[in-house]
Amino acid sequence: MQPSAGFENARTVLLEMEVPIAASPQRVWEATVNEMDQWWLVDFRCAGKPGKIVFEARVGGQMYEDSGDGAGIHWFRVISLDPGKSMHLSGHIAPPFGGPATALMYLNFEAQEDGTTVLKVTHSLVGKLDDGFVSSLDSGWKQLFVDGLKQHAEK
Protein backbone atom coordinates (compact mmCIF):
# COMPACT_ATOMS: atom_id res chain seq x y z
CA MET A 1 0.00 0.00 0.00
CA GLN A 2 1.36 3.42 -0.97
CA PRO A 3 1.15 6.27 1.56
CA SER A 4 -1.34 8.98 0.64
CA ALA A 5 0.09 12.07 -1.00
CA GLY A 6 0.98 14.67 1.61
CA PHE A 7 1.60 12.18 4.42
CA GLU A 8 5.26 11.51 3.68
CA ASN A 9 6.18 13.41 6.87
CA ALA A 10 3.59 11.71 9.10
CA ARG A 11 4.88 11.22 12.62
CA THR A 12 4.05 11.54 16.31
CA VAL A 13 5.27 14.43 18.46
CA LEU A 14 5.01 15.08 22.20
CA LEU A 15 5.44 18.62 23.54
CA GLU A 16 5.57 19.20 27.30
CA MET A 17 6.05 22.26 29.46
CA GLU A 18 5.51 23.52 32.98
CA VAL A 19 4.43 27.09 33.69
CA PRO A 20 4.80 28.32 37.29
CA ILE A 21 2.04 30.84 38.02
CA ALA A 22 1.91 33.04 41.13
CA ALA A 23 -1.81 32.48 41.65
CA SER A 24 -3.97 29.79 43.23
CA PRO A 25 -5.11 26.83 41.15
CA GLN A 26 -8.68 28.14 41.45
CA ARG A 27 -7.63 31.52 40.00
CA VAL A 28 -5.67 29.88 37.16
CA TRP A 29 -8.63 27.60 36.40
CA GLU A 30 -11.02 30.57 36.37
CA ALA A 31 -8.75 32.50 34.03
CA THR A 32 -8.36 29.49 31.75
CA VAL A 33 -12.00 28.52 31.37
CA ASN A 34 -13.87 31.82 31.84
CA GLU A 35 -11.44 34.52 30.69
CA MET A 36 -9.71 32.91 27.72
CA ASP A 37 -10.70 35.69 25.34
CA GLN A 38 -8.92 38.19 27.62
CA TRP A 39 -5.53 36.43 27.62
CA TRP A 40 -5.51 34.71 24.20
CA LEU A 41 -2.91 36.83 22.37
CA VAL A 42 -3.96 38.68 19.21
CA ASP A 43 -1.14 37.08 17.20
CA PHE A 44 -2.70 33.66 17.93
CA ARG A 45 -6.11 34.50 16.51
CA CYS A 46 -6.25 32.80 13.13
CA ALA A 47 -9.73 33.31 11.70
CA GLY A 48 -8.90 36.27 9.48
CA LYS A 49 -10.17 39.15 11.55
CA PRO A 50 -9.71 39.13 15.31
CA GLY A 51 -12.55 37.10 16.70
CA LYS A 52 -13.68 36.16 20.16
CA ILE A 53 -12.15 33.07 21.78
CA VAL A 54 -14.91 30.92 23.29
CA PHE A 55 -14.35 28.05 25.73
CA GLU A 56 -17.28 25.88 26.78
CA ALA A 57 -16.05 24.32 30.03
CA ARG A 58 -17.99 21.04 29.98
CA VAL A 59 -17.44 17.58 28.57
CA GLY A 60 -18.22 17.81 24.86
CA GLY A 61 -17.78 21.59 24.97
CA GLN A 62 -15.87 23.43 22.28
CA MET A 63 -12.99 25.86 22.21
CA TYR A 64 -13.19 28.01 19.12
CA GLU A 65 -12.56 31.39 17.59
CA ASP A 66 -15.77 33.15 16.57
CA SER A 67 -15.29 35.83 13.91
CA GLY A 68 -19.02 36.45 13.48
CA ASP A 69 -21.36 35.63 10.61
CA GLY A 70 -20.66 31.92 11.09
CA ALA A 71 -16.92 32.32 10.37
CA GLY A 72 -14.16 31.12 12.68
CA ILE A 73 -11.85 28.29 13.62
CA HIS A 74 -12.49 25.26 15.84
CA TRP A 75 -9.52 24.69 18.14
CA PHE A 76 -10.47 21.88 20.52
CA ARG A 77 -13.26 19.75 21.99
CA VAL A 78 -13.33 18.95 25.72
CA ILE A 79 -13.02 15.19 26.18
CA SER A 80 -12.62 15.15 29.98
CA LEU A 81 -12.85 17.73 32.71
CA ASP A 82 -12.02 17.59 36.42
CA PRO A 83 -13.00 21.15 37.45
CA GLY A 84 -10.18 23.04 39.09
CA LYS A 85 -7.70 20.24 38.47
CA SER A 86 -7.34 19.09 34.85
CA MET A 87 -8.76 18.85 31.36
CA HIS A 88 -8.16 16.82 28.20
CA LEU A 89 -8.83 18.42 24.83
CA SER A 90 -8.81 16.98 21.31
CA GLY A 91 -8.54 18.80 18.02
CA HIS A 92 -7.38 18.78 14.43
CA ILE A 93 -4.84 20.85 12.57
CA ALA A 94 -5.85 21.63 9.00
CA PRO A 95 -3.28 21.72 6.17
CA PRO A 96 -3.17 25.55 5.97
CA PHE A 97 -1.99 25.56 9.58
CA GLY A 98 0.65 22.81 9.26
CA GLY A 99 -1.38 19.57 9.23
CA PRO A 100 -3.29 17.49 8.60
CA ALA A 101 -2.83 16.25 12.14
CA THR A 102 -4.79 15.21 15.21
CA ALA A 103 -3.93 16.80 18.54
CA LEU A 104 -4.55 15.88 22.16
CA MET A 105 -3.81 18.42 24.89
CA TYR A 106 -3.75 17.80 28.63
CA LEU A 107 -3.72 20.68 31.13
CA ASN A 108 -3.02 19.89 34.78
CA PHE A 109 -3.37 22.62 37.43
CA GLU A 110 -1.01 21.49 40.21
CA ALA A 111 -1.28 23.26 43.58
CA GLN A 112 1.99 24.15 45.27
CA GLU A 113 2.57 24.38 49.04
CA ASP A 114 3.00 28.15 48.81
CA GLY A 115 -0.47 28.59 47.26
CA THR A 116 0.77 29.04 43.71
CA THR A 117 0.18 26.79 40.70
CA VAL A 118 2.27 24.86 38.23
CA LEU A 119 0.35 24.46 34.99
CA LYS A 120 1.54 21.31 33.25
CA VAL A 121 0.79 21.24 29.53
CA THR A 122 1.17 18.10 27.43
CA HIS A 123 0.42 18.31 23.72
CA SER A 124 0.51 15.11 21.65
CA LEU A 125 0.19 15.24 17.87
CA VAL A 126 0.05 12.69 15.10
CA GLY A 127 0.01 13.49 11.40
CA LYS A 128 1.95 15.57 8.92
CA LEU A 129 4.32 17.50 11.17
CA ASP A 130 7.50 18.96 9.78
CA ASP A 131 10.27 20.25 12.05
CA GLY A 132 9.51 23.92 11.37
CA PHE A 133 5.86 23.51 12.33
CA VAL A 134 6.71 21.57 15.51
CA SER A 135 9.25 24.19 16.56
CA SER A 136 6.81 27.07 15.96
CA LEU A 137 4.04 25.21 17.79
CA ASP A 138 6.30 24.55 20.79
CA SER A 139 7.46 28.17 21.02
CA GLY A 140 3.93 29.42 20.31
CA TRP A 141 2.34 27.46 23.16
CA LYS A 142 5.08 28.68 25.51
CA GLN A 143 4.42 32.27 24.48
CA LEU A 144 0.65 31.90 24.76
CA PHE A 145 0.68 30.25 28.19
CA VAL A 146 3.44 32.49 29.65
CA ASP A 147 2.76 35.88 28.03
CA GLY A 148 -0.98 35.27 27.89
CA LEU A 149 -2.40 33.09 30.65
CA LYS A 150 0.34 33.47 33.28
CA GLN A 151 0.45 37.26 33.06
CA HIS A 152 -3.34 37.50 33.05
CA ALA A 153 -3.85 35.13 36.03
CA GLU A 154 -1.18 36.90 38.09
CA LYS A 155 -2.83 40.35 37.81
Is residue 6 included in any domain, yes or no?
A: no
By mean pLDDT, which of 5-19, 110-124, 141-155 is the weakest? 5-19
Look up the CATH number of the domain holding residue 104.
3.30.530.20
Q: Over 90: is that where the pLDDT of 10 sits?
A: no
Bond prior to 25 in cis (omega within 30° of 0) = no
| N-term to C-term CA, the chain | 55
In a domain, 118, yes or no: yes
- Of 147, 145, 111, 113, the closest CA to residue 27 belongs to 111
Question: What's the mean pLDDT in 143-153?
Answer: 97
Is 49 within the bounds of a domain?
A: yes
Phi first, then psi, for residue 127 (nearest 5°) are: 145, -155
pLDDT of 17: 97
Residue 114 domain flag: yes
Structural domain count, the chain:
1
Domain of residue 53: give its range: 13-153
State percent of the chain over pLDDT 70.
92
Residue 43 has pLDDT above 70, yes or no: yes
In a domain, 147, yes or no: yes
Express as a percent the part of the chain with pLDDT over 90. Answer: 72
- On whether residue 1 sits in a domain, the answer given is no
The answer to whether residue 128 is domain-embedded is yes
pLDDT averaged over the chain? 91
0.85 exceeded by pTM = yes
Top pLDDT among 61 and 42 is at 61
Alpha-carbon distance of 114 to 134, in angstroms, equals 34
